[in-house]
Chain A
Amino acid sequence: MALDGKSPTGPIEGRWAKRKADAKLVSPANRRKYSVIVIGTGLAGASAAASLADQGYKVKAICFHDSPRRAHSVAAQGGINAAKNYQNDNDSDFRLFYDTIKGGDFRARESNVYRLAELSANIIDQSVAFGVPFAREYGGTLANRTFGGVLVSRTFYARGQTGQQLLYGAVSNLWKNVDSGQIELLTQKDVLDIVVVDGKCRGVIVRDLRTGQLETHMAHAVVMCTGGYANVFYLSTNAMKSNVTAMWRAHRRGALLANPCFTQIHPTCIPAHSEFQSKLTLMSESLRNDGRVWAPKKAGDTRRPEQIPDEERDYYLERKYPTYGNMVPRDVASRNAKYMCDEGRGALGLRAVFLDFRDAIKRDGKHAIEEKYGNLFDMYAQITGDNPYQSPMVIYPAPHYTMGGLWVDYDLMSNIPGLFVLGEANFSDHGANRLGASALMQGLADGYFVIPYTLPHYLAGQTFAPLTADHDAAKSALNDARTRLDKMVAIKGDTSVDRFHRDLGMVMLDKCGMSRTREGLAEARTEIRRLRDEFWQRVRIPGDAKGFNPEVEKAGRVADFLEFAELMVHDAGERNESCGGHFREEYQTPDGEALRDDDNFMYVAAWEFKGVGETPALHKEPLTFEYVKPTQRSYK
């Protein structure tokens, strides 16, 4: 079955305007009769909840944290893109669109990406109005910096804490609506399932994390903004509780999951120190504005960086990609770090490379570098005990972001009517690789400026059965969730949840990480199945599911990762090409770059659930490129 993304047609600059003009409206007086559930309070969720509440809909915002401000968007460091052209360096909506399509290696939908570029400027306006203290020039205007994969300065930032400040801005508007009673905020609730009534998504099943109680919440539509699934790798830059559960449960209820193998391994992270490492910490891509990446020329050179003279250093990104230099896109930077280490040229004899600020400090002075990156340097020093002002950072790629997600049409609605998916949880805008500073842009574009137009259109076009938690579908979903929890807790085996998660992560990183092979993926599938069987026989969850029990929460998440991982590996095995972050060793150019197969794989792979361990059914959405001609990506 070919899927239809329902993109409007005609000139690309006019498509969003056309879609809006065609959209049905709900009158202001009728809006209060509609209720909407928003899952997650990160950038996408908080902005969606606030925008819909501002319009007059009754909103329930659900998050698993104790406060909406803790969603993992808070950790985004470097910045947010917007085509403001404040630098007068020939930026435009089209150029942002072009960069994003090319950066994604021609695996995203043109219409969506153009809309993203078009909405980007207004996000900055909106965020400033909510009190986001962006970096400024002395004259009082907003400052910009450059990010990877582009040749203009369009990134807005708030020191190294841009995500935190943008999130606080969006959440402040959520609080405004809590104050006025327009939003009911439900914290510490884990969404365990969705409720589908007569083919429409009408509610969710949640577990209250304080009391352990299962609850049913019903609404006219559900907006899922639950972030990405990089924790399938166990060690990632994601927060410990970031998970795939809501997305996976929706998939099990019929929502198609698209391109799950498109994952991003971020080039600049602090390497793991020991087997007890619980997560990895990112060092913002913005550091590559001034930091130079290098590895020793000689294999097996374990000397301290200060002892390696310039002529024995290989600034390999500058050498191989003179046009973009250190600012190549993330997938290219990561892969090259891997190649250095595979050749035995890792920094200090480790699997790592250097990120060196010596020359920038010499050129601009320590003070200027401190101004730009002070908190990142402090964070690095705190974690490693080394001083990056004196010696280079030691970095290595780590799982960071997931481009894949639930399939959505142009309106951001999944194939289940009434289930909308926003932000990192959907698959839509970044293709096979996301450019830096684009995740914040997408989350807020979806929440502030897309959903307030497309969701009312959906509501206005429907007739709804009355809301009731007594519906058979709701009761059966609640029952499924309860049965599963009881079963898990009753196992009382001998192995901790974390152990399973760690083992799964090793398999995924090794076989479905930065580079993949047909054989490796087949082995991964066997390993995943073995781990999943073992989990259901040997997991040990102390206590019960009746009250506050963090081990119960973790177990449910890991159980879902163990099912999801198999789909991810399957998708990677079926996509017989390399593109962006998906690198199959069998398909590469003589220079070791990703080799796409546009004739056979220029499509979105949207998978339909057929049962755990069963082969999923493939639905293809063909991709067409009218405005950016697909070429072999070159950053040389």
Chain B
Amino acid sequence: MSTGKNLRLTIEVWRQASPDQPGRFETYELDAVSADISFLEMLDQLNERLIKEGKDPVAFEHDCREGICGSCGFMINGQAHGPLRGTTVCQLHMRHFHDGERLVLEPWRAQAFPVRKDLVVDRDSFDRIMAKGGYNSTRVGNAPEANSILVGKETASKAFDAAACIACGACVAACKNGSALLFVSAKNAHLGLLPQGAPERYRRAVRMVEQMEKEGFGGCSNTLECEAACPKQISTGWIQRLTRDYIRGKTVEDTGEVAESGGG
């Protein structure tokens, strides 16, 4: 379980006091980082030291520290959430680094995610997209009996794969266009695949994509960096589905057809 090893590390951290002030990198030397602790616990230790020295601790977002709340995330040496595939930065442990390594920590860089302080960015743009279509228009109280609508195991499982997105923003940060398409397409697929979300399938796609564009996210760069960076390994295949749904939705908007779907 325990490696018992200690590492010496040099870390360069982006320090920016507030959104309207310029930022810069600051370098810190850490001489005894246990290889057993997590990346954020390493920053906790640094902060404990900074507080003792009367300095301002490094701000970073975090909460559950088990990879599910989606709060945490920053770039480590240019990689969103660091070098380990399918892993949020809170689940990244120091045993994956070696003695003497130099690490550069930066916040997500994207127009739609303004930096608030140090490694913390504002991701409200994601929620404004969700509020345009990330739901089924059902009221509490009028749900049919759960087994009255059958959902195939494969369909439920695919919907789950898409629903696993934690909205951390790594996909946006990893994309050179700052595109949010992986995030939006995952939500669109999760709801649209299930029969309960099918009636709004096309309307949802159109409304979410339009809000996404309004927020200043870029178009798809086609490099699939987003999938590589995603801690939940969401597939870029969903982007094709979103594009189809969006086009269908726009087409019927123009022709006055009714766009409803039987799902799938």
Give residues in A with beta carbon < 8 Å to B: 47, 50-51, 54, 65-70, 72, 74-75, 84, 86, 122, 124-131, 133-142, 158-159, 161, 164-165, 168, 172-173, 175-176, 178-179, 185, 187, 210, 239-241, 273-274, 276-279, 281-282, 348, 350, 378-379, 382-386, 394, 448, 452, 494, 496, 498-499, 540, 542-543, 547-548, 550-551
Cβ-defined contact, A125 with B156, below 8 A: no
B191:A210 contact, CB within 8 angstroms: no
Alpha-carbon gap, A297 to B67, bound state (A): 36
- Complex A-B, nearest 5 residue pairs according to Cβ-Cβ distance, in ascending order: A140-B150, A129-B143, A172-B135, A133-B160, A133-B159
Q: Write out the residue numbers on chain B whose beta carbons fall within 8 Å of the beta carbon of A66.
A: 61, 71, 122-124
Q: Quick check: B51 and A542 within 8 Å, CB to CB?
A: yes
Question: Complex Cα distance A139/B143, Å?
Answer: 21
Mask: chain B, 30-65; 1 = CB below 8 Å from A; 0 = not: 000010111011001101101110111101011111
User: Are the CB atoms of A69 and B153 closer together than 8 Å?
Assistant: no
Contact call B143/A274, Cβ cutoff below 8 A: no
CB distance from A238 to the nearest CB of B (A): 9
Contact residues in B for A173 (Cβ distance below 8 Å): 135, 138, 140
Q: Is B194 a contact partner of A133 (Cβ separation < 8 A)?
A: yes
From known contacts A129-B196, A173-B135, A175-B130, infer whether A70 and B140 are also in contact, taking CB-CB under 8 Å: no
Residues in A neighbouring B14, C-beta threshold 8 A: none
B124 touches A187 (CB 8 A): yes
Tell me if B91 and A452 are in contact (CB < 8 A). Answer: no
**B167 cross-chain contacts in A, Cβ below 8 A:** 67, 69
Across-interface contacts of B34 in A (CB, < 8 A): 273-274, 276
A551 to B48, CA, bound (A): 11
On chain A, the residues within 8 Å of B47 by CB distance are 496
Name the B residues within 8 Å of A542 (CB-CB): 50-51, 54-57
Cβ contact within 8 Å between B48 and A498? yes
Q: Is the CB of A277 within 8 A of B124?
A: no
Beta-carbon contact of B153 and A136 below 8 Å: yes
* Bound CA–CA A69/B144 (angstroms): 25
The listed residue (B51, B68, B86, B153) touching A138 by CB distance below 8 A is: B153
Q: Which of A70, A133, A350 is close to B190, meaning CB atoms less than 8 Å apart?
A: A133
Decide if B1 touches A51 in the complex (CB within 8 Å).
Answer: no
Say whether B131 faces chain A, with CB atoms less than 8 Å apart: yes
Residues of A within 8 A of B24 (CB): none
User: Nearest Cβ in chain B — how far from A338, in angstroms?
Assistant: 19
Task: List 12 A-B pairs, Cβ < 8 Å.
Answer: A69-B167, A70-B64, A126-B141, A131-B135, A136-B153, A161-B68, A240-B64, A379-B91, A382-B87, A494-B52, A496-B51, A540-B51
- Given known A131-B197, A179-B132, A385-B95, contact A140–B151 (CB-CB < 8 A): yes
The answer for the CA separation of A126 and B123 in the assembled complex, in Å, is: 29
Q: How far is the CA of A179 from the CA of B136 in the complex (A)?
A: 12
Question: Are A379 and B66 in contact, with the CB atoms below 8 A?
Answer: yes
CA distance A582 to B64 in the complex (A): 26
Within 8 A of A (CB), among B134-163: 134-147, 149-153, 156-157, 159-160, 163
Contact assessment for B145 and A239 in the assembled complex, using a CB-CB cutoff below 8 Å:
no
Cβ contacts under 8 Å, B69 to chain A: 65, 70, 72, 74-75, 239
In the complex, whether B3 has a CB less than 8 A from a CB of chain A is yes
Q: What separation, in Å, do the CA atoms of A551 and B123 have in the docked complex?
A: 21
User: B67 to A379, Cβ gap below 8 A?
Assistant: yes
Given A131-B190, A179-B132, A383-B91, 9 other A-B contacts at CB below 8 A? A70-B69, A74-B70, A133-B156, A136-B152, A136-B153, A241-B63, A276-B37, A382-B87, A498-B48
Q: Check: B117 CB closer than 8 A to any chain A CB.
A: yes
* Residue numbers in A under 8 Å from B156 (CB-CB): 133-136
Q: Once the chains are docked, how many angstroms separate the CA of A79 from the CA of B47? A: 37
Q: Which residues from B are CB-within-8-Å of A496? A: 47-48, 51-52
Q: CA A494 – CA B52 in complex, angstroms?
A: 7
Query: CB < 8 Å: which of B3, B18, B141, B153 contacts A54?
Result: B141
Chain B residue, CB-CB nearest to A278: B41
Beyond A175-B134, A394-B1, whether A273 also contacts B37 by CB under 8 A is yes
User: How many angstroms between the C-alpha atoms of A69 and B68 in the bound complex?
Assistant: 10
Pairwise interchain contact B136-A130, C-beta atoms closer than 8 A: yes
- Please indicate the chain A residues that have their CB under 8 angstroms from the CB of B93 in the complex: 382-383, 385
| Contact A165 B160, CB 8 Å, known A65-B63, A279-B65, A548-B59 | yes
Do A138 and B140 have beta carbons less than 8 Å apart? no
Complex CA distance for A499 and B93, rounded to whole angstroms = 22
Closest to B33 in A: A276
CA distance A415 to B152 in the complex (A): 48
- Indicate if the CB atoms of B140 and A175 lie closer than 8 Å: no
Alpha-carbon distance between A187 and B139 when the two chains are bound, in angstroms:
23
In-complex Cβ contact of A126 among B45, B68, B143 (8 A): B143
Q: Which among A125, A137, A378, A394 has the highest number of chain B CB atoms within 10 Å?
A: A125
Interchain CB contact (< 8 A) of A141 among B3, B55, B64, B147? B147
A128/B146 in contact, CB under 8 A: yes
The answer to whether residues A278 and B38 also contact, given A124-B146, A125-B145, A175-B134 and a CB cut-off of 8 A, is yes
Closest Cβ of chain B to A449, distance in Å, is: 8
B255: chain A residues within 8 A (beta carbon) = none
The CA of A54 and the CA of B141, in the complex, are separated in Å by 9
Point out the residues of chain B lying under 8 angstroms from A273, CB to CB: 1-2, 34, 36-37
> How far is B71's CA from A133's CA once the two chains are assembled, in angstroms?
23
Are A179 and B131 within 8 A (Cβ)? yes
In the complex, what residues of A have CB within 8 A of residue B66's CB? 75, 279, 281-282, 379
B117 contacts across to A, CB distance below 8 A: 548
Please report which residues of chain B, range 171-185, place their CB below 8 angstroms from some CB of chain A when the two chains form the complex: none
A384, B147: Cα distance in complex, Å: 39
**In the complex, what residue of chain A is closest to B65 when comparing beta carbons?**
A279
Give min CB distance, B160 to chain A, whole Å: 4
Render B192-205 as a binary contact track against A, CB cut-off 8 A, 1 for contact.
00101100000000
| A contact residues around B149 at 8 Å (CB) | 128
Which A residues lie within 8 Å of B103 (CB)? none
Asked if B160 and A278 sit within 8 Å, CB to CB, the answer is no
Q: Mark B71-100, 1 if CB is under 8 A from A, else 0.
A: 100000000000000110001010100000
Q: Which residues of A contact B48 (CB under 8 A)?
A: 496, 498-499
When distances are taken between beta carbons in the complex, the residues of chain A under 8 Å from B153 are 136-138, 140
Residue of chain A at shortest CB distance from B126: A67
CB contacts (< 8 Å) of A124 on chain B: these are: 146
A494 to chain B, nearest CB (A): 7
In the complex, the answer to whether B140 meets A47 with C-beta atoms within 8 Å is yes
B183: min CB distance to chain A, Å: 12
Are A72 and B140 in contact, with the CB atoms below 8 A? no
Which of chain B's residues have a CB closer than 8 A to the CB of A540? 51-52
Complex Cα distance, B124 from A410, in Å, reads: 38
Residue in B closest to A165 when the chains form the complex, CB atoms: B163
Shortest CB–CB separation between residue B90 and chain A, in angstroms? 9
Q: Are A74 and B41 in contact (CB under 8 A)?
A: no
What CA separation (Å) do A276 and B45 show in the bound complex?
Answer: 7
Could you tell me the distance in whole angstroms from the C-beta of B166 to the nearest C-beta in chain A? 8
- When C-beta atoms are compared, the residue in chain A nearest to B49 turns out to be A496
| A452 CB contacts on chain B under 8 angstroms | 140-141
State how many angstroms separate the Cβ of B118 from the closest Cβ of chain A. 10
Tell me whether B116 is interfacial, beta carbon within 8 Å.
Answer: yes
* Set of chain A residues within 8 Å of B259, measured between Cβ atoms: none
User: Which residues of B sit under 8 angstroms from A378, Cβ to Cβ?
Assistant: 86
B44 touches A158 (CB 8 A): no
Is B151 a contact partner of A130 (Cβ separation < 8 A)? no
Closest B residue to A126 by beta carbon equals B143
In angstroms, Cα B143 to Cα A125, docked, is: 6
Question: Which of chain A's residues has its CB closest to B120's CB?
Answer: A548
Instruction: Establish whether residues B68 and A54, one from each chain, have CB atoms under 8 Å apart when the complex forms.
Output: no
How many whole Å from B38's CB to the nearest CB in chain A? 7
B164 at the interface (CB under 8 A from A): yes
Give every chain B residue within 8 A of A137 (Cβ-Cβ).
153
**What is the CA–CA distance of A490 and B182 in the complex, to the nearest angstrom?**
46
Q: Do residues A75 and B59 form an inter-chain contact, with CB atoms below 8 A?
A: no
